[in-house]
């Protein structure tokens, strides 16, 4: 079974540009989560998509956005890039959470975004 795949592996952008990161979940998983891992800050929750809808959003500005496609793959867009957006962006997928039940998350290997 293929795991969660993210592309590209590395991305270098200039300040002010836009970045697009992609994530393909495990087959059968409908929920996709995005996390930002900046140096020394652990993982910060960005966005949660399920069945094509944004279900929850972390404390990030609106220039961080995304979408989920009918095949459950997802895209994270970061507009007007700033130097502090440089980080590892991790995607995770799971079955849709059930109240009181944890189905577990499977993470991808991330996209390393560098803003210069």
Partner 1 sequence: AQTVTQSQPEMSVQEAETVTLSCTYDTSESDYYLFWYKQPPSRQMILVIRQEAYKQQNATENRFSVNFQKAAKSFSLKISDSQLGDAAMYFCAYRSTNFGNEKLTFGTGTRLTIIP
Q: How far is the CB of 108 from partner 1 (least distance, A)?
A: 7
Q: Residue 10, interface with partner 1 (CB under 8 A)?
A: no
Name the residue among 115, 109, 108 with its Cα closest to residue 29.
Answer: 108
Distance CA 60, CA 70 (A): 25
Q: Is the peptide bond between 8 and the residue preceding it cis, with omega within 30 degrees of 0? A: yes
Q: Residue 66, interface with partner 1 (CB under 8 A)?
A: no
Q: Enumerate binding residues for partner 1 (CB under 8 A).
A: 3, 33, 35, 40-45, 48, 55-56, 58, 88, 90, 92, 97, 99-100, 102, 104-105, 107-110
């Amino acid at each position: 079974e293929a795991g969660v795949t993210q592309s590209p592996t590395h991305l270098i952008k200039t300040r002010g540009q836009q970045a697009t990161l992609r994530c393909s979940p495990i087959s059968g998983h409908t929920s996709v989560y995005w996390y930002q891992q900046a140096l020394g800050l652990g993982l910060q929750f960005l966005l949660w998509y399920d069945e094509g809808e944004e279900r929850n959003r972390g404390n990030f500005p609106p220039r961080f956005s995304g979408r989920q496609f009918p095949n459950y793959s997802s895209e994270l867009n970061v507009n007007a890039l700033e130097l502090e957006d440089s980080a590892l962006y991790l995607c995770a997928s799971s079955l849709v959470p059930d109240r009181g039940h944890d189905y577990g998350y499977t993470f991808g290997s991330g996209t390393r975004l560098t803003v210069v």
